[in-house]
Amino acid sequence: MLFTDAHINKVALQQRAFNLRWATVPEGVIPLTAADPDFMCAPEIVEAIERYSKERTFAYGPPEGLLSFRETISKVVFERKNIKTHAGLVLPVDSAAQGMMVIANTYLQKGDEALVFDPVDFLFKTTVEQAGAKAVLIPVDVATGHFSVAQMEAAITPATKMICLCNPLNPIGKVFSKEELTAIGQLAVKHQVWIMNDEIWSDIIFPEAQFTSIASLSTEIADRTITVYGFSKSFAIAGLRAGFIIAPNQNSYNQLFQASLLATTITGITPLSQVAAQAAFEHCWYWLEAFLLHLTRIRKIGLEMLNQIPGVSCHTPQGCYLVFPNITGLQKTSTEVTEYLFQKAKVAVVPGAAKWFGPGAEGHVRICLATSETIFTEAMQRIQNAVKEF
């Protein structure tokens, strides 16, 4: 058993886990907020960091990233996601968030528009807007994951330069089907727009679902797709800030590299993080598989316990270690429910507020599953008891 209480270093989390988590909540509060695992990472990652550190040489790395890391990435994305690329088109960056910003800065300007699903992680709107463009929201039904391709096409104007895809979709856990991806890809080809393809969640797929990369569908679609990935979700190393972009061709790579500012040293991923992430891709899939088994059990507990609460109903996510229950039956806003749970149940969750996920998220709260069964069950019981006194 790899994912028990013994694999959580609570003391270290209380000192080090920021971003709405253990280090930021009062003693006694269980944070099921930011999607960052409570578990210690796989030992192979630490061993790689130790080996590198023992050389006592922390010189600047190459701006385009370590060749061995880029080679590992191109091999892994082909084997696991059927993305055909090579090391020369892979650009390591210091997180998926940074990768999204680089993509937005490369292909969006003031006055441009980008299609963004609603609800979705706030980073899409944020990166699109910081590039000066406007996010045009495309609603997705939270419970069924349904969206309309016709509505997407109708939203495309001469100003549209990008479709932003989050597959699987945080916060609702939708895994896009091959048919849906083909339709989105064909729109991009037809209207000559880019696809910002965020696959940070692509390893967190529950057993009944199947992940397809939009970059694997056809050469035409791949040629419009810039894929971004980060190691935070799959390998519990968010603090190492490691991710990469895959450009569809050399021209696009050159533009992305230019916009990334990597050549200036103003930004960049440290060699240490690249070594750690390479170890994750080379040696830690066994760890991820065990993590997925654990998450499948926690998802079941979460769904059962949430669906027992009158006024709460929760659909089954196909991917992401998140549940996103509908709380409209409680007759309060998601922010009110979140505040109540924080005070009364001493459990922190993320409200389905527009600032986090877009207006389509209201009426829901987001709960992270990536903790131990003991901690999660305790949190669910506290929520059940608190809601009884609502």
Ligand X SMILES: Cc1ncc(COP(=O)(O)O)c(C=O)c1O
Q: Collapsing DSSP states into helix, strand and coil, what is residue 356? A: helix
Shortest distance (Å) from residue 88 CB to ligand X: 23
Query: Residues touching ligand X: how many (CB under 6 A)?
Result: 14
Shortest distance (Å) from residue 124 CB to ligand X: 8
Strand order in the sheet with 225-230: 90-93, 243-246, 225-230, 194-198, 160-166, 113-118, 134-139
Shortest distance (Å) from residue 168 CB to ligand X: 9
Question: Which of 95, 127, 318, 338 contacts ligand X by CB under 6 A?
Answer: 95
Segment interacting with ligand X, rule: CB under 6 A, options 89-97, 255-263, 328-336, 379-387: 89-97
Is the CB of residue 19 less than 8 Å from the CB of residue 34?
Answer: yes
Angle CA 187–188–192, to nearest 5: 120
The bridge status of strand 365-368 relative to strand 322-323 is antiparallel
The bridge status of strand 134-139 relative to strand 113-118 is parallel
Segment interacting with ligand X, rule: CB under 6 A, options 4-12, 92-100, 142-150, 380-388: 92-100
Question: Which of 105, 170, 212, 252 contacts ligand X by CB under 6 A?
Answer: 170
Contacts of 219 (CB under 8 A, 6+ apart): none
Chain positions 32 to 51 lying near ligand X, rule: CB under 6 A, are 35
Q: Does 96 help bind ligand X (rule: CB under 6 A)? A: yes
Residue 80 or 191: which CB sits closer to ligand X? 80
Residue 74 or 232: which CB sits closer to ligand X? 232
Question: Which of 118, 121, 180, 203 contacts ligand X by CB under 6 A?
Answer: 121
Structure tokens at 56: 């006592």
Question: Which of 115, 138, 187, 238 contacts ligand X by CB under 6 A?
Answer: 238
- C-beta neighbour count of 195 within 10 angstroms: 26
Shortest distance (Å) from residue 319 CB to ligand X: 11
Q: Does 274 help bind ligand X (rule: CB under 6 A)? A: no
Residue nearest to ligand X (CB): 230
**Peptide bond preceding 63 in cis form (omega within 30 of 0):** no
Segment interacting with ligand X, rule: CB under 6 A, options 91-99, 129-137, 151-159, 371-379: 91-99
Is the CB of residue 151 less than 8 Å from the CB of residue 124?
Answer: no
Q: Collapsing DSSP states into helix, strand and coil, what is residue 166? A: strand
In whole angstroms, how far apart are CA 336 and each of 24, 343, 352? 20, 11, 11
Q: Does 198 help bind ligand X (rule: CB under 6 A)? A: yes
**Quick one: three-class SS letters along 71-133?**
HHHHHHHHHHHCCCCCHHHEEEECCHHHHHHHHHHHHCCCCCEEEEEECCCHHHHHHHHHCCC
Shortest distance (Å) from residue 9 CB to ligand X: 20
Shortest distance (Å) from residue 133 CB to ligand X: 18
Question: Which of 230, 268, 302, 352 contacts ligand X by CB under 6 A?
Answer: 230
Residues that bind ligand X (CB under 6 A): 35, 95-97, 121, 123, 166, 170, 198, 200, 230, 232, 238, 243
